[in-house]
A and B are shown apart, each in its own frame.
Chain A
Amino acid sequence: MRHRLRFARTRRGQFGLVIVAIVLAIALLGPFVSPHGPSQLTGAPGAPPGGGHLLGTDYLGHDVLSRVLWGGRSVISLALSATALGFALGTTIGLIAGYSRGIVDSLLMRSVDVILAFPPLLFFLIIVTSVGYSEGVLICGVAVVQAPGIARIVYSATREVSVAAYVEAAVARGETTAAILRRELLPNTLPTLIANLGLTLTYSVLLTAAVNFLGLGLQPPAANWALMISENRTILSLNPWAVVVPATLIAALTIGVNLVGDAISISLGRSETTVDARVDPAAAIMQGNLIATPQGPET
């Protein structure tokens, strides 16, 4: 376990964790401390901060602070579930295609290319107009849009790993394909995968925001940071806080998640290199690995 939590000891990892924790706390605990309900009309539209409204009011006269405190849950739950689903889908496709080669590889990867070729929003438009809108559709839609990118990354990582001697050893002792994928390949594509977690989550947040912005997703009375940015852009000059605060929170979330993701993948990647450093410091220094942790993992 110590092995896995090593990222939390890097400055980058700690900084990211703190940011993510703050944003999560606002999103999860916000509704309990909110002064007003999310769709309660409390004042004149577009009023600047003052008069009981710490952040002013939005384009309809809701309290911005209350909507910020209520509006994180859906952002995070939508983006998280869409990312998780996208990862599951993409990883499965990438692993199978990368390992199997031949016809299965071509079939899977060419279908991935077809989805990649579609503009994501057009893709949404088609889905929403054909099956109608629901949160489930939104999550699935974002996941399907994300999966091809993840599949490509996992695919190339798998191709790289699948020629390693330990995979050959597994083939030679007759392991099943499922066991090879799960035991030998998946764990070794993890650093690449986790490095992309942050980016994908970011993209999920932005994509749901874009879909909401276009009116294909959540509908206006709902409180959602992404939606707030789009609905309040008309009153930007009257009360900029109605846009700036949710935008900052989304930005903070994405930056925090990216920092954590980077820290994890670096610490996973480093577990190989530090010890090579012990064996051959010269080689490790050549790669620039020794600067941070010259001693290697203590044993």
Chain B
Amino acid sequence: MTASPQALLDVTDLTIELRSGLPVVQDISLALNRGATLGLVGESGSGKTTVAMTLLGYVRPGMRVVHGQITIAGEGIDLRDEKAARRARGRLVSLVPQDPATSLNPALRIGGTIRDVLEAHTSGHANDVAVGEALDRVHLPITGEFMRRFPHQLSGGQQQRVLIACALACSPPLVVLDEPTTGLDVVTQAQILAQIDQLHSERELAMVYVSHDLAVVSQLADRIAVMYAGRIVEHGPASMVLTRPRHPYTRGLIGSSPDHVTPRQLHGIPGVAVGLGDRPTGCAFAPRCAQRVARCELELPPLEPQQDGRSVRCFEAERTPPLQFGAPLAPATPASAEPILLVRDLKAVHGTRGHTFTAAEDISFAVRRSECLALVGESGSGKSTIARVIVGLHPPAAGEVQLDGRRLAPLAKERSRDERRRCQIVFQNPYESLNPRQKVEEQVARPARLLRGFSRADARAAVTELFERVRLPTRLGEKFPSELSGGERQRVAIARALAAGPAVLICDEVTSALDVSVQAAVLDVLIELQRELELGLVFITHNLGVVATVADSVLVLTRGRICERGSVNEVLHHPSDPITQQLLAAAPRLRATAKRDALVSERA
């Protein structure tokens, strides 16, 4: 696309590589008008954060700008001179960073943090009035008491607001937001997004919103640029890109995004994203692409403008089929009416003598074979504690857990080998759930040897079979976890749990650390396993879209108590509890609103 003369931001031909010569981002050209919002979307490793940081004139140590220019409000940003670039920050462009908890200096009070920003970018002394104005803009209290608080005395949402206040303190015309809501709860996220939207429309602010989450981006962006392996692959008006994607990767991303209003079968993108060093000469997406032709692997498709006003980097863009969402598979009929896992009046408490905190109370539920029960709630709602009680990592304060009608001992070491075998857990963080110093196959074989008494040879055969089940190439067994991607690690963790031959599988936020296309693939594996092995699944998540895709029934938790339960359909479409209603209202959905369309045509 070409920059219109009044463009606020103009990026041309930006290419950044590592000092060793490996390209990180290539041929990035972007333009943004005053008051417009660009969503920069991509999965991990796509280079979106590198682009975002470069917009601030910041090139990370170890990287260098090969060529390219950035102009903001007519002023060129000198990418080779950190001192010159610094003069633009705050005045022309500012950043709202990703992680509020680590972005705020824990030793500085809130007032001091904002004062520092003001004093760094404007001449002279900043008084409390100016600090108060900055806080007021994001609807934070402007009392002296609040300004004297330290970051740890604020909630995550308030911390993020302070960062937004810092970014807006000097009224720059452009703000770069780098995944500003990723670490927040859905409800807080919805509030922050609404706030950003309001500030945006009040102040004619141009924004570059960087995120991996299409649903979030679709709330705000007029235009969307999708990045893959360091290049923009599709760029155009948001409604167009979201409803009729032309690049197969964009289509794959949308097809992988779960939705809680219209449950759909997810289609993950096969394969894994190419690493930094392995980008092919042709189209980087070709190895994962269903519509590739011989030419795709030989030459790089240009980012070609289409008639409808967008640009697509694909030779075969015309052939990209329209989006199609199949309904999810009908719930499997449970093999027996008898519950396999029964939790009754469970209560769990954290802390020691004197100072206790009830994490979960009055929790009762049952899971049958081939049934998937979702536990949904915000962080701190007690869902992970319940998982830990079930597998015997945390002793319950009251109540009981039954497996096949037999009461389980409180702790894993007091349970029989068979009881431990039949109830397995997969943890949230794939980067933490595997021992970094053991080969992957050894870790998968261990439960089979320990809990099923397999010989070394039998265990090896079991590992091979399990790798096939979770769709991992067998050769990965030889590797250490650090050599695998996040999605591969999580599949190894699932294989390890299955190696025990369980009847019940507890999945504790197993996809929340993964990219959407990887999430879709992992969910697909889980659904298939649940059906084929007749597993009872307890699926813990905060993502209602995922619930709609995998679960048969749902429990909604808040502050350690069940506030609503029912079938997925009932709960997601006719929620009766105010908490559920609030959660559903806050959950972001992929949408291209009429309002956005109007804005686009007006500015076009």
A166 to B450, alpha carbons, bound, how many Å? Answer: 15
Number of A-B contacts (CB under 8 A): 124
CB pair B500 A173 closer than 8 Å: yes
| Partner among B45, B415, B435, B483 whose Cβ is within 8 Å of the Cβ of A166 | B435
A281 to B447, alpha carbons, bound, how many Å? Answer: 34
Is B336 in the interface zone, CB < 8 Å from A?
no
Across the interface, which residues of A come within 8 angstroms of B44, CB to CB?
Answer: 279-280, 283
0/1 interface trace, chain B 416-451, chain A, CB 8 Å (1 if under): 010011001101110111111110000100110011
A175 to B434, alpha carbons, bound, how many Å? Answer: 15
Q: Which residue of A has the minimal Cβ distance to B352?
A: A102
Across the interface, which residues of B come within 8 angstroms of A184, CB to CB?
Answer: 435
| Partner among B24, B412, B436 whose Cβ is within 8 Å of the Cβ of A174 | B412
Interface residues of A in 155-172 (CB under 8 A from B): 164-166, 168-169, 171-172
A296 to B485, alpha carbons, bound, how many Å? Answer: 12
Is B148 in the interface zone, CB < 8 Å from A?
no
Across the interface, which residues of A come within 8 angstroms of B479, CB to CB?
Answer: 299
Interface residues of A in 165-190 (CB under 8 A from B): 165-166, 168-169, 171-175, 183-184, 187-188, 190
CB pair B451 A280 closer than 8 Å: no
| Partner among B18, B391, B413, B450 whose Cβ is within 8 Å of the Cβ of A294 | B18
0/1 interface trace, chain B 43-67, chain A, CB 8 Å (1 if under): 0110101100000000011110000
Across the interface, which residues of A come within 8 angstroms of B432, CB to CB?
Answer: 164-166
Across the interface, which residues of B come within 8 angstroms of A294, CB to CB?
Answer: 18-20, 22, 62, 276-277
Beyond A190-B437, A285-B60, A290-B18, whether A171 also contacts B451 by CB under 8 A is no
The interface stretch among A75-83, A103-111, A269-277 is A269-277
CB pair A3 B24 closer than 8 Å: no
Interface residues on B, range: 35 or more
| Partner among B62, B275, B392, B415 whose Cβ is within 8 Å of the Cβ of A288 | B62
0/1 interface trace, chain A 84-127, chain B, CB 8 Å (1 if under): 00000000000000000000000000000000000000000000
A64 to B432, alpha carbons, bound, how many Å? Answer: 56
A282 to B230, alpha carbons, bound, how many Å? Answer: 11
> How near does chain A come to B25, taking the closest CB pair, in angstroms?
10
A273 to B436, alpha carbons, bound, how many Å? Answer: 11
0/1 interface trace, chain A 122-165, chain B, CB 8 Å (1 if under): 00000000000000000000000000000000000000000011
CB pair A168 B393 closer than 8 Å: yes
> How near does chain B come to A91, taking the closest CB pair, in angstroms?
15
| Partner among B22, B437, B447 whose Cβ is within 8 Å of the Cβ of A173 | B447
CB pair B61 A291 closer than 8 Å: yes
Beyond A187-B435, A282-B50, whether A172 also contacts B277 by CB under 8 A is no
Is B480 in the interface zone, CB < 8 Å from A?
yes
Is B482 in the interface zone, CB < 8 Å from A?
yes
0/1 interface trace, chain B 20-46, chain A, CB 8 Å (1 if under): 101010000000000000000000110
A271 to B435, alpha carbons, bound, how many Å? Answer: 13
Is A234 in the interface zone, CB < 8 Å from B?
no
Is A233 in the interface zone, CB < 8 Å from B?
no
CB pair A3 B480 closer than 8 Å: yes
A190 to B438, alpha carbons, bound, how many Å? Answer: 13
Is A286 in the interface zone, CB < 8 Å from B?
yes
A274 to B393, alpha carbons, bound, how many Å? Answer: 32
Most chain A beta-carbon neighbours within 10 Å: one of B49, B392, B435, B480 = B435
CB pair B62 A187 closer than 8 Å: no
CB pair A278 B275 closer than 8 Å: yes
Beyond A271-B480, A294-B22, whether A279 also contacts B486 by CB under 8 A is yes
A296 to B436, alpha carbons, bound, how many Å? Answer: 16
Q: Which residue of B has the minimal Cβ distance to A273?
A: B482
Across the interface, which residues of A come within 8 angstroms of B425, CB to CB?
Answer: 169, 172
CB pair A188 B435 closer than 8 Å: yes
Q: Which residue of B has the minimal Cβ distance to A164?
A: B432
Interface of B is mostly: loop
Is A248 in the interface zone, CB < 8 Å from B?
no
Beyond A279-B45, A281-B24, A282-B47, whether A174 also contacts B438 by CB under 8 A is no
A184 to B450, alpha carbons, bound, how many Å? Answer: 15
CB pair A173 B24 closer than 8 Å: no
| Partner among B420, B424, B437 whose Cβ is within 8 Å of the Cβ of A188 | B437
Is A295 in the interface zone, CB < 8 Å from B?
yes
> How near does chain B come to A128, taking the closest CB pair, in angstroms?
41
0/1 interface trace, chain B 363-407, chain A, CB 8 Å (1 if under): 000000000000000000000000010011100000000000000
A281 to B318, alpha carbons, bound, how many Å? Answer: 32
| Partner among B276, B431, B436 whose Cβ is within 8 Å of the Cβ of A271 | B436
A278 to B274, alpha carbons, bound, how many Å? Answer: 9
> How near does chain B come to A60, taking the closest CB pair, in angstroms?
53
Across the interface, which residues of B come within 8 angstroms of A174, CB to CB?
Answer: 412-413, 415, 417, 420, 450-451
Q: Which residue of A has the minimal Cβ distance to B437?
A: A187
A165 to B486, alpha carbons, bound, how many Å? Answer: 15
CB pair A169 B433 closer than 8 Å: yes
Across the interface, which residues of B come within 8 angstroms of A297, CB to CB?
Answer: 483
Q: Which residue of B has the minimal Cβ distance to A185?
A: B435
Is B496 in the interface zone, CB < 8 Å from A?
yes
CB pair B482 A272 closer than 8 Å: yes
Across the interface, which residues of B come within 8 angstroms of A285, CB to CB?
Answer: 18, 60-63
CB pair A277 B276 closer than 8 Å: yes
0/1 interface trace, chain B 487-500, chain A, CB 8 Å (1 if under): 00000000010001
Is B484 in the interface zone, CB < 8 Å from A?
yes
Across the interface, which residues of B come within 8 angstroms of A299, CB to CB?
Answer: 479, 483
Across the interface, which residues of B come within 8 angstroms of A277, CB to CB?
Answer: 276
| Partner among A173, A291, A296 whose Cβ is within 8 Å of the Cβ of B62 | A291
Across the interface, which residues of A come within 8 angstroms of B60, CB to CB?
Answer: 282, 285-286
CB pair A168 B61 closer than 8 Å: no
CB pair A275 B482 closer than 8 Å: yes
A148 to B412, alpha carbons, bound, how many Å? Answer: 33
Across the interface, which residues of B come within 8 angstroms of A169, CB to CB?
Answer: 425, 427, 433, 496
Across the interface, which residues of B come within 8 angstroms of A273, CB to CB?
Answer: 482
| Partner among B49, B50, B277, B451 whose Cβ is within 8 Å of the Cβ of A295 | B277
CB pair B49 A282 closer than 8 Å: yes
Across the interface, which residues of A come within 8 angstroms of B417, CB to CB?
Answer: 174
Across the interface, which residues of B come within 8 angstroms of A166, CB to CB?
Answer: 432-435, 443
Interface residues of B in 496-537 (CB under 8 A from A): 496, 500
A164 to B436, alpha carbons, bound, how many Å? Answer: 11
A149 to B393, alpha carbons, bound, how many Å? Answer: 31
> How near does chain B come to A48, taking the closest CB pair, in angstroms?
52
Across the interface, which residues of A come within 8 angstroms of B19, CB to CB?
Answer: 291, 294
CB pair B392 A172 closer than 8 Å: yes
A213 to B443, alpha carbons, bound, how many Å? Answer: 51
Interface residues of B in 265-308 (CB under 8 A from A): 275-277
> How near does chain A come to B180, taking the closest CB pair, in angstroms?
16
Most chain B beta-carbon neighbours within 10 Å: one of A172, A183, A296 = A172
Across the interface, which residues of B come within 8 angstroms of A3, CB to CB?
Answer: 480
> How near does chain B come to A178, taking the closest CB pair, in angstroms?
13
CB pair B277 A173 closer than 8 Å: no
Interface residues of B in 236-290 (CB under 8 A from A): 275-277
Pairs of residues from A and B, 10 with the lowest C-beta to C-beta distance, nearest first: A187-B437, A165-B427, A165-B433, A278-B275, A282-B49, A280-B44, A166-B435, A165-B432, A291-B62, A272-B482
- Can you list 22 contacts pairing A with B, beta carbon distance less than 8 Å? A164-B432, A165-B427, A166-B432, A166-B433, A172-B393, A173-B447, A184-B435, A187-B435, A188-B435, A190-B437, A271-B436, A272-B482, A275-B484, A278-B45, A281-B18, A281-B47, A281-B276, A288-B62, A291-B62, A294-B22, A294-B62, A294-B276
User: Which residues of B pack against A, CB within 8 Å?
Assistant: 18-20, 22, 24, 44-45, 47, 49-50, 60-63, 275-277, 388, 391-393, 412-413, 415, 417, 420-421, 424-425, 427-429, 431-438, 443, 446-447, 450-451, 479-480, 482-486, 496, 500
User: Which residues of A pack against B, CB within 8 Å?
Assistant: 3, 164-166, 168-169, 171-175, 183-184, 187-188, 190, 271-283, 285-286, 288, 290-291, 294-297, 299
